[in-house]
Structure 1
């Protein structure tokens, strides 16, 4: 009998230990688990101050060339003021004709860095002039090779630009614009550029995902190649074109979640 008791004693102790652990372990609470995961919040809801500082950099699209209302950045800022009941200060330092190389140089200026540091919204349009300034006197193979090389340069320059901005300001939301091609030129480079724009715009979207918070405006869809009624001079949008981009700007920013 003693031998039998000694044989079952370890088993009994193990069972008692298991029951004690099981009964003392806190029950799983789905509400507690859910609370552990932070719910996404809208970017605009994270800004409680009454003034938003909006810095605009890049080329003529960012500048608003052809607009009487400050381009899409100016129009969008006025809409945001009305919807958020906040003042939006626009500081547009974009330059007509600017390329990625020019923007890199602009970002090195101390006064520009100071503006970036204070910004809540940073709007960027760049890359269109890289395409417009390409030498168009090439054949098919040479043209394809040149476009590929220019795309690699654009990708490297854009990475440099966003890295520079984030070094000055990691919290501002970046609003990047897609490239578009309203020109109807009868040369091989223009037709190739139109085909390659999807690849260039994919580069912009990938960069935006890397340097969040950021959104990308689908300018290529908003300003189609044949939408002459939206163009000021055959290249830049008119007030109607800029208003269409501004509407997408506001909608995207107000719905953007962190």
Structure 2
């Protein structure tokens, strides 16, 4: 056979074989794409108070919908301003049918439990009061995680830590940073007992930064929620079992 003809046939064969491979890869990406059901539980941070655009949950929705392996994101936000951990179980029970279908569950809780301590003992605050309440909070959190796992064994649960908005509002509590750290470490330890869970710290995002707080100097503003969402998504990227990898 003429060597030029042989070379031509080899090039054709290579070209023909590469085209279906590219198509197969595209089809594989399409097959991997799936819908995600998101449930958001907790307090005013989950509700998005301080941001008319929906807070960190709205940003997370955008980040996930921009992924090639995600088709559509459906969000069910049950965040409620002022919610304490003693009320969280009722929210779960009232929305059990939605939680059963969730792929990702985000939780912010604990800030109002701390505020209850501040309001109840404003003139006589001590570190021990916060320790006692944190221990009770940790016990309730453990029970609530058990309830979530009973409702949904497979959902990936993300617990978002607390930050310190008290430094300007309550300058008479100099140990508040230590309290926040203690509270977060306790929550991190509780959630680590469960599979397919993640604790995301955010305290450092708000340290010494008034530009990320709303006018009330307590809740995040749009920029603050965006920073939270970026941190959450960054942690999700490091723990990709939530997407089935």
Per the normalisation by structure 2, the TM-score is 0.78
| Residue in structure 2 matched with residue 87 of structure 1 by the alignment | 72
Deviations 1:99-128 (A, max 9, x none): 00011222232xx11111000000000000
Structure 2 contact 127–179 (Cα < 8 Å) conserved? no
Larger radius of gyration: 1
Alignment of 1:159 with 2:142, yes or no, is yes
Measured after TM superposition, the shift of residue 171 of structure 1 is: 1.1
| Residue in structure 2 matched with residue 19 of structure 1 by the alignment | none
> Structure 1: which 4+ aligned runs deviate by more than 6 Å?
none
Alignment of 1:146 with 2:129, yes or no, is yes
Does 160-169 or 47-56 show the bigger shift? 47-56
| Residue in structure 2 matched with residue 38 of structure 1 by the alignment | none
Aligned with 1:206: secondary structure? helix
1:106 pairs with one of 91, 95, 110: 91
Alignment of 1:65 with 2:39, yes or no, is no
Aligned with 2:36: secondary structure? strand
Structure 2 contact 78–91 (Cα < 8 Å) conserved? no
Structure 1 contact 55–93 (Cα < 8 Å) conserved? yes
Q: Which has the higher contact order (CA 8 A, sep 6+)?
A: 1
1:118 pairs with one of 97, 101, 109: 101
| Structure 2 unmatched ranges of 5 or more | 1-28
| Structure 1 unmatched ranges of 5 or more | 1-44
Measured after TM superposition, the shift of residue 257 of structure 1 is: 4.1
Aligned mates of 1:240, 1:205 — CA distance in 2: 25
Instruction: Within 5 Å, give how 1:1-258 maps onto structure 2.
Output: 48=32, 50-84=34-68, 85-109=70-94, 112-134=95-117, 135-139=120-124, 143-183=126-166, 184-186=168-170, 188=172, 190-224=173-207, 226-232=208-214, 233-258=216-241
| Residue in structure 2 matched with residue 5 of structure 1 by the alignment | none
Per the normalisation by structure 1, the TM-score is 0.75
Q: CA 1:137–1:238 in 2, change beyond 3 Å: closer, same or farther?
A: closer
Aligned mates of 1:212, 1:74 — CA distance in 2: 26
| Residue in structure 2 matched with residue 3 of structure 1 by the alignment | none
Structure 2 contact 142–191 (Cα < 8 Å) conserved? no
Aligned with 1:83: secondary structure? coil
How many residue pairs match? The answer is: 207
